[in-house]
Amino acid sequence: MGLTNKVMANEDSTVLGILQGAFQMSSREQCTMIGMICWSLWRRRNNWLWRKASMSTFGVKGMAMNMLSDWRRAKEKEDITRIPLQLRSTGCVVRDSAGSFLRAKACKVRNRAYAMEAEAVRLKEALSWVKDWRTSKCIFETDAKLLVDVMHSPKQGRSFFDTLVDDCKELVKHFEEVLIVFTHRSANNVAHILAQAAYSLIDPREWINTAPDFIICTLSLEAI
């Protein structure tokens, strides 16, 4: 486990003294792992005492790692529920390949999210909106580079952000010839202004023009 130089003992050592010394010399991450190993050893001892069930050292390590992973997921969910609701406004502008205006939408979104999670919510809303009237030859532009990179990655995580990304990937499956690309904030001024204008809107607002063969949807998000 890489903790040999942290957990040290001699003939006069007590369990309490060993653990106190280990915690003093270890990082926060190492202290957490030591605690998980102690819990796993205690479980191993009880399994042998009451059920005569043996467990290898690899089993002790595996149980400790699994317990730590479960604890982190539970802590992550707990942290999310403590985040206060934040009202954000979002703007989506759709244009053709020549840059001519086609459609636009502005609305407010209230969610318990960090900035990158709010960006994923924004993309999810845009995909759902466009999917209702267009499913081919679409480009979605956003200034959230991390979100674009994750959307193009096959990796899957367990965080709330990863769950939102998975929702976006499922929505993308409804489209044909679709791209999600990164664009600098200066390139989506119209969507940015639209998102700011959404502050004063009571209900979502949508503006519609004709739809050509090819569309580009540019997104922007503002915190209120």
**Which tokens in the block code for residue 139?**
């480009």
pLDDT score, position 155: 76
C-alpha–C-alpha distance, residues 90 and 191, integer Å: 8
Taking the C-alpha atoms of residue 182 and residue 142, their distance in angstroms, rounded to an integer, is 5
| Confidence (pLDDT) at 34 | 86
pLDDT tens digits along 58-78? 888 888 888 887 777 776 665
Distance of CA 151 to the CA centre of its chain: 11
> For position 106, what pLDDT does the model report?
75
What is the pTM assigned to this prediction?
A: 0.55
Reported as a single tens digit per residue, the pLDDT across 135-149 is 888 999 888 888 999
| Pair 201, 106: CB distance under 8 Å | yes
pLDDT value of position 191: 63
Supply the pLDDT for residue 170.
92
Q: Report the 10 Å Cβ neighbour count for 39.
A: 15
pLDDT by 10s per residue, the chain, length 224:
777 777 887 888 888 888 888 888 888 888 888 888 888 888 888 888 888 888 787 888 888 888 887 777 776 665 655 655 666 777 788 888 777 778 888 777 666 556 788 888 889 989 998 988 888 889 998 888 889 999 998 877 777 788 889 999 999 999 988 899 998 765 556 665 655 555 555 555 555 665 555 667 766 655 44
State residue 172's pLDDT score.
Answer: 93
**pLDDT score for 195:** 57
- Determine the Cα–Cα distance for residues 168 and 144; give it in Å rounded to an integer: 14
CA neighbor of 190 nearest in space, from 103, 98, 124, 110: 103
The answer to whether 68 and 32 have CB atoms below 8 angstroms apart is yes
Predicted pLDDT at 224: 45
Residue 169 confidence (pLDDT): 92
Question: Measured between alpha carbons, how far is 188 from 166 in angstroms, rounded to an integer?
Answer: 25
Q: What's the confidence (pLDDT) of residue 197?
A: 55
Q: Can you list the positions of beta strands (E) in the chain?
A: 86-95, 101-111, 136-142, 176-182, 205-208, 215-223
Instruction: Give the three-state DSSP class for 158.
Output: coil
What are 103's strand-pairing partners? Answer: 94, 208
Strand-pairing partners, residue 141, are 181, 218
Helix 115-131 / helix 160-172 crossing angle, nearest 10 deg: 20
Amino acid 159: pLDDT: 74
Write down all domains in the chain, each with its CATH number in brackets.
15-81 (no CATH), 86-223 (3.30.420.10)
- Evaluate whether 210 touches 91 at the Cβ level (below 8 Å): no
